[in-house]
Amino acid sequence: MARPHSKGGRKPEKSVAERKLEGSFRPERHNKFIAREGKLTMLKIPSWATLTKEEEKIFKRYASYLHDNGQTEEPDLVLLLSLVDYTSLYEKAVAAYKVELDAKFGQRPCITVARECQKEIANILAEFSLTPTTRLSKPKEEKSADPVNDFLALKVVK
């Protein structure tokens, strides 16, 4: 299956399925999971959160996507809730702007509110490695204590 070359002359990355098919898949290098091993969880709406029906749909959409891509741990719940808030506010601002070009939220024009929400959404998506620049960076792996490796690394001095 031929893939088109990008403008920079570099071949686009192969998918995990392609790598598995050709036998070049290496989990430590090509695995898509970002959450630490054993910490991946499907986030659920907490009982203390007061979300509208639309916000619940947004939450479930983001939560399932992030879980399927191995990117959600329990501490990500607060970040996900703020992503839902900004997405909801963005959608409301855009809807108001489409109805009336001079619509305002309080003293601020809707278009300004929508642009600021876009910036905040991009910042939060960067935390989940879902922007083009952060998608390329690999998460840092935690070093675990290995006494055998430490012993082998010792040098004998005569």
Domain range annotation of the chain: 36-135
Asked if residues 40 and 33 have their Cβ atoms less than 8 Å apart, the reply is yes
Q: Which pLDDT score, from 0 to 100, does residue 126 have?
A: 83
Query: Which residues, given as ranges, of the chain have pLDDT below 50?
Result: none
What is the helix (H) or strand (E) element at residue 55, kind and residue range? helix 53-68
Q: Which pLDDT score, from 0 to 100, does residue 29 have?
A: 55
Tally Cβ neighbours within 10 Å of residue 113: 21
Q: Which pLDDT score, from 0 to 100, does residue 116 have?
A: 92
Q: Which pLDDT score, from 0 to 100, does residue 53 have?
A: 92
Q: Which pLDDT score, from 0 to 100, does residue 107 have?
A: 87
Q: Which pLDDT score, from 0 to 100, does residue 57 have?
A: 93
pTM: 0.60
pLDDT tens digits along 12-48: 666 666 767 777 666 555 555 555 566 677 788 888 8
109 phi/psi in degrees, rounded to 5: -65, 145
Whole-angstrom Cα distance, residue 59 to residue 126?
Answer: 17
